[in-house]
Amino acid sequence: MNELSVGVEVEVPFYDVDAMNFAWHGNYFKYFELARCALLRLIDYDYPRMKASGYLWPIVETRVKYVRPATYGQKLRVEARLIEYENRIKIAYLIKDASTGEKMTQAYTVQVAVDAEKRELQFVSPEIVVKNVQNALKR
Amino acid sequence: MNELSVGVEVEVPFYDVDAMNFAWHGNYFKYFELARCALLRLIDYDYPRMKASGYLWPIVETRVKYVRPATYGQKLRVEARLIEYENRIKIAYLIKDASTGEKMTQAYTVQVAVDAEKRELQFVSPEIVVKNVQNALKR
Amino acid sequence: MNELSVGVEVEVPFYDVDAMNFAWHGNYFKYFELARCALLRLIDYDYPRMKASGYLWPIVETRVKYVRPATYGQKLRVEARLIEYENRIKIAYLIKDASTGEKMTQAYTVQVAVDAEKRELQFVSPEIVVKNVQNALKR
Amino acid sequence: MNELSVGVEVEVPFYDVDAMNFAWHGNYFKYFELARCALLRLIDYDYPRMKASGYLWPIVETRVKYVRPATYGQKLRVEARLIEYENRIKIAYLIKDASTGEKMTQAYTVQVAVDAEKRELQFVSPEIVVKNVQNALKR
């Protein structure tokens, strides 16, 4: 592999749909997170592991382009792709309609490591992340 | 006035805080929306009015920079400022700690008008929006 | 069949977990709803069909017993069972750990039909519901 | 005082309203929590204090009666009243329309103390809770 990526399926639930009959824009961050957690599991660094490693990874930046609105019951494919990992974790997301493949939404998130004890921002990713990504890429 | 802006106060509720003890990043879209609705009320074009005017205004783009994480019970001031309105509605947001004034989060959202019946994207804002903004600016 | 029931799987997502590291109690209404929608599909009366039939079905009562707290990544099986349908829709829910079968949560919800136009409460379920349930029971 | 109670105001936000144009039933648990946290502050035992005292207080039971549906922008008054505290914390909630006083929703929640370290359920409330409630009642 020369790139890490993963896809999950999400069906838009009733409780995510707003009074305009579309999935409310803020709910997409849940869909991104489902794909992000799947991606982090690929590098054996999901939230419990993060915590155990002594680092938090808050999201410090995000950008989203909503191309087509999603509706109740629509099946979406949410793809997450690891773009950067050496100094920070940048993940790109692409949401498509699961049956037609039409592009629905495009986004990215940026996370940085914070030492959980000292609350200090890390300007380089902790060794465990770099090692785990490189191992996953060899598979 | 030569610019429309408004501020609301939000206290971070327990249910918005995640397992890392910070307000979960996706929840900020709720805080932005509270300020956005207050801003839309200034131009008499809040959601019920939108719907009555025959247009939906889905959010098509957003960008957020999370500068400092927010914690349970923290009082935030969320400011919204109208940046564009003639062809689309672009709103800038600034979240500060309500007591210290420290900058917490910065963002913008872009919305476009969609004809509710024909589901057609409008490339120019409906007249009612332009008129209402200009009236509000005269106040 | 002499009873309608259905089960769905839910994996507790990170965004549902609170600062105590447990799934926040209010989030279970999302899990119940996923199972409820699956049950309503069995009788061909999911939300879009409801709306088309001219009735809304607001939830008027609920009760929940939280037996064991759920944690991030835990796989849950959420079962929904139709208990009443002739005058109102009452559904019972049982959440178990998907791998151990341990009982996690128990609940019910009650919904009543409301005429969407007249906003009038119906004291008897609309014919379409009774017919659809009886058809589903024959399968 | 021979009873502890408190009221908070909530305005139904757009993001809480579902495709039926009503506040989604699961969102009321957020309104209850805002009032519950205000009540817990009266006895100086809000979430951070709880955690510091070595106990978690998961909700183990709830019951809600939704009398009237709430809509976008509606102002609600949410009252919380402490019903039991010696062996468990039981709180009753009453939501009224803030301007008409009409009853909207009625509920209760039951919480029990759990030793945070040993994960053991406590059958009697920790001394700090009993003392704090009794002090607050004297005020």
- Give residues with Cβ within 8 angstroms of D72, minimum separation 6: A19, B47, B48, D12, D13, D14, D17, D21
pTM of the entire predicted model: 0.97
Q: Is D48 at the interface with chain B, CB within 8 A? A: yes
Which residues of chain A from 65 to 124 reach within 8 Å of chain B, CB to CB? 65-67, 69, 109
Q: Kindly report the CA angle at B51 between A68 and C50, in degrees rounded to 5?
A: 75
> Residue B129 corresponds to which tokens in the numbers above?
């929006």
CB B17 within 8 A of CB B66: no
**D114-115/D103-111 β-pairing:** unpaired
CA distance B39 to chain C (A): 28
Task: Select the residue of C15, C29, C48 nearest A33 (Cβ to Cβ).
Answer: C15
Residue of chain B whose Cα is closest to the Cα of A33: B26
Give the residue from B82, B83, B84, B105 showing the smallest Cα distance to B94. B105
Alpha-carbon separation of residue C68 from A21, C15, C65, D4, D114 (angstroms): 35, 19, 9, 29, 12
Write the pLDDT tens digit of every residue in C100-131.
Answer: 999 999 999 999 999 999 999 999 999 999 99
* Greatest Cα pair distance in chain B: 48
The predicted model gives C12-25 an average pLDDT of 96
Q: What span, in angstroms and rounded, lies between the C-alpha atoms of B12 and A35?
A: 26
What domains appear along chain C, each with residue ranges and CATH number? 5-138 (3.10.129.10)
DSSP3 helix / strand / coil % (chain A, rounded to 5): 30, 35, 35
Verify whether the Cβ–Cβ distance A58 to B25 is below 8 Å: yes
Residues of B in contact with A61 (CB under 8 A): 63-66
User: Is D1's pLDDT higher than 90?
Assistant: no
Specify the 3-state DSSP secondary structure of A48.
helix
- If you average pLDDT over every residue of chain B, what do you get? 96
Q: Which residues pair with D109 in a beta bridge?
A: D62, D91
User: Is C2's pLDDT higher than 90?
Assistant: no
Specify the 3-state DSSP secondary structure of D5.
strand
Evaluated on CA atoms B14, B20, B23, B28, the torsion sign reads negative
Q: Is A26 at the interface with chain B, CB within 8 A? A: yes
- If you average pLDDT over every residue of chain D, what do you get? 96
- Give residues with Cβ within 8 angstroms of C122, minimum separation 6: C55, C112, C113, C114, C115
Q: How many other C-beta atoms can be found within 10 angstroms of the C-beta atom of residue A9?
A: 11
User: Is B13's pLDDT higher than 70?
Assistant: yes
Write the pLDDT tens digit of every residue in B21-70.
Answer: 999 999 999 999 999 999 999 999 999 999 999 999 999 999 999 999 99
Question: Which residue in B62, B71, B88, B112 has the most chain A C-beta atoms within 10 A of its own C-beta, making it the best mutation to test that interface?
Answer: B62
Buried b (16+ CB within 10 A) or exposed e, D53-84: bebbbbbbbbebebebbbebebebbbbbbbbe
Instruction: Find the radius of gyration of the CA atoms of chain C.
Output: 16
CA distance A135 to chain B (A): 27
Q: Is D54 at the interface with chain C, CB within 8 A? A: no
Q: Is D24 at the interface with chain A, CB within 8 A? A: yes
pLDDT score at A1: 63
pLDDT score at D139: 85
Q: What span, in angstroms and rounded, lies between the C-alpha atoms of D39 and D77?
A: 14
CA distance A18 to chain D (A): 5
Specify the 3-state DSSP secondary structure of C96.
strand
Write phi, then psi, for D65 (nearest 5 degrees). -115, 120
The predicted model gives B94-122 an average pLDDT of 97
Residues of chain A with pLDDT under 50: none
pLDDT score at C1: 63
Alpha-carbon separation of residue C123 from A77, D68, D90 (angstroms): 42, 16, 33
- Report the amino acid identity of residue B8: V
- Give residues with Cβ within 8 angstroms of A134, minimum separation 6: none
Residue of chain B whose Cα is closest to the Cα of D36: B14
In this prediction, residue D38 has a pLDDT band, given cuts at 50, 70 and 90, of very high
- Rounded to a whole number of angstroms, the distance between the first and last alpha carbons of chain C is 7
Question: Residue written as tokens 């999950």?
Answer: A8
Specify the 3-state DSSP secondary structure of B25.
helix
Q: Is A29 at the interface with chain C, CB within 8 A? A: yes
Residues of C in contact with A13 (CB under 8 A): 30, 33-34, 37
The predicted model gives C54-83 an average pLDDT of 97
- Give residues with Cβ within 8 angstroms of B70, minimum separation 6: B12, B22, B23, B76, B95, B104, B105
Q: Is A47 at the interface with chain C, CB within 8 A? A: yes
- Rounded to a whole number of angstroms, the distance between the first and last alpha carbons of chain B is 7
Return the percentage of chain B with pLDDT > 70, whole number: 99
User: Is D82's pLDDT higher than 70?
Assistant: yes
**B75-84/B5-11 β-pairing:** antiparallel
Q: Is C34 at the interface with chain D, CB within 8 A? A: no
Residues of B in contact with C15 (CB under 8 A): 18, 24, 26
